[in-house]
Amino acid sequence: MADNILLQVEGLKVAYGGIQAVKGVDFDVREGELVSLIGANGAGKTTTLKAITGLQPLAVGDVKFLGKSIKGQGAWNLAKQGLVMVPEGRGTFTRMTITENLLMGAFIRKDSEIQADIEKVFGLFPRLKERRSQLAGTMSGGEQQMLAMGRALMARPKLLLLDEPSMGLSPIMVDKIFEVVNDIHRQGVTVLLVEQNASRALELANRGYVMESGVVTMQGDGKTLLNDPKVRAAYLGE
Ligand code: ATP
């Protein structure tokens, strides 16, 4: 199972007009893994995620999900197949309650286990359960991040893409979010985690990739990267 490749990114290049944001990136994510993609501001991490989910056209290269190119498939179709992203900035439905937001996450499903899955999400995030009838727009940044993750889980992802889930949160909330990312992974969800918080992301990761100026400059298992002097100097302030 561990060698079953869910996501394969091959020679990916993405440009915004004349600006080459991603300049030829290769990596993969295998079933059951938590893979972290780290790098500084502007390294091209978000652009890479957008290309993976079909939100940004690929200029060159390919992305394969479950062995099939994502080209021309569209974000909706990919989500139906289990490729689900929690975008940077969360994107919750602010005028809907927490429960309604969670139900929106299940809109592609037709099975009878939706209510049971809401309870599972409430198990991961007791805070959401306490506030289930509250409008999402009135929640704190950390709570909205929890909601965005919960909503993505309601789609029963095969691969969950998380774009900077800890961004802008208080230290306590950052702890909580990484704890839940770990729980989600332990419950069997494959995760691609994009983070500027390199130490936390690599601590959790089976494998990691470092992106700099649109290319992958280092890769390895999480602990090895975490202990690498170059990574420590560039991303952990040592
Ligand atoms: P951050 O952590 O700040 O989100 P990142 O590693 O995710 O950084 P990207 O957001 O992918 O980086 O940005 C990569 C490069 O592409 C940057 O130079 C950025 O200015 C540029 N870029 C991103 N989005 C656009 C856009 N819509 N139009 C033009 N340039 C863009």
**Residue 45 Cα to ligand 1 middle (Å):** 8
- Quote the number of domains for the chain: 2
Do 57 and 167 lie in a common domain?
Answer: yes
Q: Which of 145, 176, 174, 179 is nearest to 162 (CA)?
A: 145
Do 106 and 203 lie in a common domain?
Answer: no
Do 167 and 76 lie in a common domain?
Answer: yes
Which residue has a Cα nearest atom 9 of ligand 1?
A: 44
- Site to probe by mutation for ligand 1, drawn from 23, 37, 45 as the one with most ligand atoms within 8 Å of Cβ, is 45
Do 139 and 230 lie in a common domain?
Answer: no
The CATH number that applies at residue 74 is 3.40.50.300
From residue 160, alpha-carbon distances to 7, 41, 210, 215, 227 in Å are 11, 22, 19, 22, 26
Do 20 and 120 lie in a common domain?
Answer: no
Which residue has a Cα nearest atom 29 of ligand 1?
A: 16
**Predicted pLDDT of residue 56:** 86
At which of 107, 127, 156 does a domain end? 156
**Residue 22 Cα to ligand 1 middle (Å):** 9
Element (H, E) at 78: helix 74-81
Do 51 and 168 lie in a common domain?
Answer: yes
**Residue 46 Cα to ligand 1 middle (Å):** 7
ipTM above threshold 0.85: yes
115 lines ligand 1 (CB under 6 A): no
Do 172 and 230 lie in a common domain?
Answer: yes
Structure tokens at 103: 């139900």
What's the burial of 71, exposed, middle or buried (CB within 10 Å: 0-12/13-18/19+)? exposed
42 lines ligand 1 (CB under 6 A): yes
Q: Could you identify the atom of ligand 1 that is nearest to the CA of residue 48?
A: 11
Give φ, ψ of 95 to 5 degrees: -95, 10
At which of 115, 138, 156 does a domain end? 156
45 lines ligand 1 (CB under 6 A): yes
Do 55 and 141 lie in a common domain?
Answer: no
1 lines ligand 1 (CB under 6 A): no
Domain of residue 120 covers 91-156
Do 95 and 46 lie in a common domain?
Answer: no
**Predicted pLDDT of residue 88:** 82
**Mind giving me the DSSP string for 165-182?**
TTTT--HHHHHHHHHHHH
Query: pLDDT, tens digit, for every residue of 152-180?
Result: 999 999 999 999 999 989 999 999 999 99
Which residues of the chain carry a pLDDT beneath 70? 1-3, 238
139 lines ligand 1 (CB under 6 A): no
Do 6 and 66 lie in a common domain?
Answer: yes
**Predicted pLDDT of residue 75:** 83
Which residue has a Cα nearest atom 18 of ligand 1?
A: 42
- Site to probe by mutation for ligand 1, drawn from 12, 25, 37, 46 as the one with most ligand atoms within 8 Å of Cβ, is 46
Do 57 and 67 lie in a common domain?
Answer: yes
Structure tokens at 157: 């992802």
In the sheet where 159-163 sits, what is the strand order?
A: 83-86, 159-163, 190-195, 34-38, 207-212, 215-221
**Predicted pLDDT of residue 92:** 87
Strand partners, 86: 162
Residue where the block lists tokens 């992974």: 185
Do 98 and 43 lie in a common domain?
Answer: no
**Mind giving me the DSSP string for 135-162?**
BGGGS-HHHHHHHHHHHHHTT--SEEEE
Q: Please say whether the beta carbons of 121 and 103 come within 8 A.
A: no
At which of 109, 126, 156 does a domain end? 156
